[in-house]
Amino acid sequence: MVAYHNLYLALSVVLFTIGAIGAITRRNAIVVFMCIEIMLGAVNLAFITFGRANQSVDGIFMVMFVMAVAAAEAAVGLAIFILMYRKRGTINVESFNLMKW
């Protein structure tokens, strides 16, 4: 049983790393946001695994809230992307250089 926990945790860490690297290296804002969602998915997996390992429901509650907040975040984020696209015709994060050092 414990061995499986470690597998799930390893998967979670791998997913989190993939998401973090993607969020830094990708250029399309939507892909960046998807990478952030992968990170949140990894977090959820970690919470469920720990909840099961600790025999407590706190972790599962947390997952519910993380999913709800992620949905709210997606709504706001996509609205901002649409505004940006209307204004600039692109959502490439490298083209946002109105303000410089």
Partner 1 sequence: MEMLEFVVPALNVKAILPQAILSLTALTVLLVGVSSPHNKKTSSLGYLSLVGVVVALISTLMINGARESAYNGMVLMDGFSSFITLIVCIVTLLTILSSINYQRFFPRLNCGEYYCLLLFAAVGMSFMGSAGNLLMIFLALETMSISIYVLAGFKSDEAQSIESAMKYFLLGAFASGFLLFGFALVYGCTGTMDLVKISAFLTAHPEVIHSKMLMGGVALMTVGFGFKVAMFPFHMWTPDVYEGAPTSITGFMATGVKAAAFAALLRVFFVALGHLQADWTGIMWLLAFLTMTIGNVVALSQTNIKRMLAYSSIAHAGYLLVGFVAGSKLGQSGILFYLLSYAFTNLGAFGVIALLGRDGGEYTSLDDFAGLGFKYPLMGLAMAVFMFSMAGIPPASGFMGKFYLFSSAMKAGFIWLAIFGVINSVISLYYYLRVVVVMYFKEVERDVVMPKPSAAVVVGLVIAAIGVLQMGIFPSYFWDMARQSVQAMLM
Contact set with partner 1 (CB under 8 A) = 9, 16, 19-20, 23, 29, 32-33, 36, 39-40, 42-43, 46-47, 49-50, 53-59, 61-62, 65-66, 69, 72-73, 76-77, 80-81, 83-84, 87-88, 93, 96, 98-99, 101
Distance CA 25, CA 23 (A): 6
Choose among 32, 41, 47, 9: nearest CA to 96: 32
Minimum distance, C-beta of residue 69 to partner 1, in the bound complex (Å):
5
Distance CA 4, CA 10 (A): 10
Q: Output the six-digit token pair for 46.
A: 């970690």
